[in-house]
Amino acid sequence: MTARARFLRSTMTAAMLLAALAGVSSSADGQRRFGGGNRGTYIAPNVPYDGRFVFARIRYQEIYSVGWSFDYPDTERNFATILKEITSIRPYMDGGNVFTFDDPELFRYPVAYVSEPGYWYPSKSEAEGLRDYLAKGGFVIFDDFNYAQEWMVFEAGLRQALPNAKIVPMDPSHPIFDSFFRISSLDMTYPGRPSMQAEFYGIYEGNDPKKRLMVIINYNNDIGDYLEHSGQGWYPVNLTNDAYKFAVNYIVYGMTR
C-alpha cells in the first residue's frame, strides 16, 4: 500500500461499514430524482473543479440505450456519503460530473466510470480521448454489462482506443483488492440474478502486470445498481456491502497509483 493510500484509509472496519450503509439515504427518502436513465434524464450542470473528489461519469452517444446514465445520480450521492464517512477523501456530495472521453476537462479527474459499455460505440475522438486519458494516468471503471453480445460491443469500442490491449482476469492478490478494504474473494453475483456470477478483468499499462492497472472491468455485475438502491433494501446487505468495498477500493487505487 502506498503512503497516500494509507493516508486515505481510516480505521473503519467492515462491520462499521454496515452501520454506515444503514444511514445512506435513497431517492424514496427525499433525494431529488433526475430520472435514473430514462430518456429525457435531467443531467445537472458540472461543478467547477476545486480539488475535491467528484464522481466522473462518462457519457456516450445514445444509439440503442441510455445506459450511460443508469443509476444517476443516486449512485453518486450514496457513494459520496460512504467515502465521506469512512475515508479521508473530501467528496462532492450532491451527485457528480458528466463528461465525454474527448472532453479536456476530464483530465482533472483521476477516476472515470462507464455504465453499460455493452452499448458503447465511441467516436474516433472519444477513443483517442480514452487512450490519452489512460496514458496520462487516468483510471477507468467499466460496469454493468453482461452476455456475449454486450461483451463484443464493449471490446470493439475498447480496441478503437487500445488495439493491442490484453484483457486479463483479475484475482484477489492484486493490490486493488487491498487498497482500502482487504477483499479476499471475488465471489459476487449480478443484482437480483443470483445465478449470474460476476467476473473481474483488468488492463495493465503496457500489458505488463508489474505496472499500473489502468482499467477494471466488472462483467456480469452492476456495482452501480447495488449502490443506487442501498437505502431501499432491494438486495442482500452482504452483497451491497461488498459492492461498496469494491467501489471504495477502486477509487483509492485510482487516486494513489
CA–CA separation, 42 and 155 (whole Å): 29
Quick: pLDDT tens for 125-176: 999 999 999 999 999 999 999 999 999 999 999 999 999 999 999 999 999 9
pLDDT of residue 3: 56
Whole-structure pTM value:
0.89
| Host domain of residue 176 | 3-256
Give the separation between CA 151 and CA 117, rounded to whole angstroms.
8
Enter the C-alpha cell of residue 107.
483530465
Average model confidence (pLDDT) for the chain?
89
Our count of domains for the chain comes to 1
Rg (CA), the chain: 17
Q: Are strands 139-143 and 111-115 parallel, antiparallel or unpaired?
A: parallel
Nearest to 47 by CA among 96, 87, 5: 96
pLDDT at 38: 42
**Can you list the residues of the chain whose pLDDT is less than 70?**
1-41, 65
- CA 163, CA 8: separation in Å to the nearest integer? 34
Is the CB of residue 77 less than 8 Å from the CB of residue 15?
no
Nearest C-alpha neighbor of 191 from the set 61, 84, 70, 26: 70
The CATH number covering residue 223 comes to 3.40.50.12140
- C-alpha pair distances (Å), 150 with each of 60, 96, 155, 202, 219: 15, 26, 9, 17, 10
> What count of residues does the chain have?
257
pLDDT at residue 146, rounded to an integer? 95
